[in-house]
Amino acid sequence: MIEQELIGLFEETFPFWNKMSEADRGTFLRSSQYVRFEKGTNIHDGNECTGVILIKRGVLRLYLLSDEGKEITLYRLFPGDMCILSASCVLESITFDVFVDSEENSECVVLGGCAYEDVARRMPEAKIFALESALGRFSDVMWVMQQILFMSMDKRLAIFLLDEISKTGEDTVRLTHEQIAKYMGSAREVVSRMLKYFAGEGLVAASRGGIQLLDKRRLRELAL
């Protein structure tokens, strides 16, 4: 990756880039690596500080992993997004282990966590940016948790979708999110967000005129 391209990426990502000293910019540039990750690669396993990951192409998935190998997807990152939870040395207050996989062939720039932390010690803007980014994800994660813990919304939606196709004999549920929400006694926003989560997990796909059920086996497991 040519330096000019890297500078452009930093400019877009870090709102404090233009305030950085020449020396600090040099530190960022020297501490960055352009990396391609093949689909399925584990990029971060919660142990070492992998660094701040900027996604140029592809998709990264963040998840929790239990000792027994069970996973819960927290959220996904797309081109233009930044992964900060993988920079454990920047975020000392984060003590839980999060895993990051490349879900597609991905192209990323990995900026060393120590370099970021070094700059953040001098620049409160950099520190605040990292903390706010991480805290924003806290809300995403809480949403997933609440749906699973309280409402079993994942389960209820899976049951609803399977019920619908068993009635119609099709693979596609021809209802709007609004209608589904009404039938389930939920809110449209909740249904839309959970369908997006399902789509990310490869369980359903938005298709013309409805929601196509892609993986009925896993939906049935969810519905148990």
The residue among 114, 196, 101, 125 whose CA lies nearest residue 157 is 196
Distance (Å, whole) CA 198 – CA 158: 9
Please name the residues in contact with 57: beta carbons below 8 A apart, sequence gap of 6 or more: 79, 105, 106, 107
- What's the token pair of residue 208? 């013309």
The residue among 141, 146, 135, 215 whose CA lies nearest residue 187 is 146
Interface residue with its own copies, options 49, 141, 214, 223 (CB under 8 A): 141
Q: Which is nearer to its own copies, 5 or 71 (CB)?
A: 71
Q: Does residue number 182 form part of the binding site for its own copies (CB under 8 A)?
A: no
Q: Is the sign of the CA dihedral 210, 215, 216, 218 positive or negative?
A: negative
Interface residue with its own copies, options 70, 167, 208, 217 (CB under 8 A): 70
Q: How far is the CB of 96 from its own copies (least distance, A)?
A: 4
Q: Does residue number 224 form part of the binding site for its own copies (CB under 8 A)?
A: no
Counting runs of H as helices and runs of E as strands, what totals does the chain give?
8, 11
Q: Does residue number 47 form part of the binding site for its own copies (CB under 8 A)?
A: no
Q: Does residue number 163 form part of the binding site for its own copies (CB under 8 A)?
A: no
Task: Look up tokens 């040099």; give the residue.
Answer: 26
Q: How far is the CB of 147 from its own copies (least distance, A)?
A: 10
Q: How far is the CB of 39 from its own copies (least distance, A)?
A: 26
Q: Which is nearer to its own copies, 35 or 89 (CB)?
A: 89
Interface with its own copies (CB under 8 A) = 64, 66-68, 70, 72, 91, 93-96, 124-125, 127-128, 131-132, 134-136, 138-139, 141-143, 145-146, 148-151
